[in-house]
Amino acid sequence: MAELELLRSLPFEAADPSEEARSRAKGRLLRHIRRAPGRRRRRLLLPAVGLATAGAIAALVGVGNHGGADAAAARVLRKVATVARTQPAEKPLERGHFRYTKSLVAYMSGGKGWNALSPGVREIWLGANGAGRLHERWGRPTFPSAADRAGWIAAGRPQVNPREDSGNLPPSPRVKLPTDPDALYAKLHDRAVGSGNGTGPEMFTLVGDALRESDASPALRASLYEVAARIPGVELVGPATDRVGRHGVAVAYVDGKIHERHELIFDPRTAALLGEEYVELEGNSYGYSPGTVTGYATYVVSAAVNRLGARP
């Protein structure tokens, strides 16, 4: 399996993480166990970016922008919202059909005195009622720091993840989200307040939740980008390349409390979410070097299939 060969090739890379950091990593892992209705690497060598994509990125980001980062991010996100609104709607799933999504992922897990970043290939099938199946294959874990690897060795080299894991998902009611940007902003804001994660970072995460592994309508996707454009603290990262070589544009929310950056990468031509990443900054609660990646997901395939377990 090409993906696992890629994951096995990832090289290994200081203080013990705080309880807050452990709690945050655990919450992020649980968020990704199934689609939340409301949570060094070797790149594949692919052809250079095409002229159409390059032109779309240049038009979206612009040249010589002298506005503030927040203003630049808002401008880009509103343009992406316009693109999203013009995309064709997904055909409603027929009875017995499922929405299939495949992604390359990495989540933090660990034990006392150590953490590991576990890379894997995730496949999920979701029916119209939320029922489906989740299948994950895990590659060799990597360690964010030498201290983590030493702690893992001292603990007896415990297994970090099963080699493969799968299970059926029970029906789960969909959370109805309004397509009016003002109403959607109010709803996500209400859900974010009191979450314990901070209103801004939680709203940004909720936007990502609604975009990933989703058959959201063009109107809803457009409104989600409009909401992101209004979240205080969202910044423009600029042109970005995801982990399978696709070119897009990234925006991010920098959480000043925990010193972590959450990035979303999207395709400027289709407004599709390509991937997301968590990057630690100076003073982070893990104690890691700035730039350390503690989680990512790259969405590589999304399609409707005619039976549970089928692949496009």
Please name which of 137, 141, 109, 101 lies closest in space to residue 121, comparing C-alpha atoms: 137
pLDDT at 194: 83
CA 36 to chain centre: 12
Domain assignment of residue 312, yes or no: no
Which pLDDT band, with edges at 50, 70 and 90, does 36 fall under? very low
Which pLDDT band, with edges at 50, 70 and 90, does 276 fall under? very high
Helix (H, G, I), strand (E, B) or coil at 200: helix
Q: What is the pLDDT of residues 129-177, one digit of tens each?
A: 999 999 999 999 999 999 999 999 999 999 998 889 899 999 988 788 9
Domain assignment of residue 39, yes or no: yes
- Total structural domains within the chain: 1
The rounded distance, in Å, linking the Cα atoms of 70 and 166 is: 41
Domain assignment of residue 83, yes or no: yes
Minimum mean pLDDT range among 8-22, 65-79, 91-105: 8-22
Domain assignment of residue 189, yes or no: yes
Region 20-26 average pLDDT: 45
236 pairs with which residues across the strands? 251
pLDDT at 95 over 80: yes
pTM exceeds 0.85 = no
Which pLDDT band, with edges at 50, 70 and 90, does 53 fall under? very low
Region 22-31 average pLDDT: 45
Region 69-94 average pLDDT: 92
Which pLDDT band, with edges at 50, 70 and 90, does 303 fall under? very high
The rounded distance, in Å, linking the Cα atoms of 84 and 79 is: 9
Which pLDDT band, with edges at 50, 70 and 90, does 44 fall under? very low
pLDDT at 6 over 80: no
Higher-pLDDT residue of 164 and 56 is 164
pLDDT at 14: 34
User: Domain of 194?
Assistant: 2-305
128 φ, ψ to 5°?
Answer: -60, -30
pLDDT at 242 over 80: yes
pLDDT at 174: 78
Q: How many other CB atoms are there within 10 angstroms of residue 275's CB atom?
A: 25
pLDDT at 37: 31
Domain assignment of residue 16, yes or no: yes
Domain assignment of residue 310, yes or no: no
Which pLDDT band, with edges at 50, 70 and 90, does 45 fall under? very low
Torsion of CA 35, 144, 104, 213, to 10 degrees: 20
Q: What is the pLDDT of residues 191-237, one digit of tens each?
A: 999 888 889 999 999 999 999 988 899 999 999 999 999 999 999 99
pLDDT at 78: 96
Domain assignment of residue 228, yes or no: yes
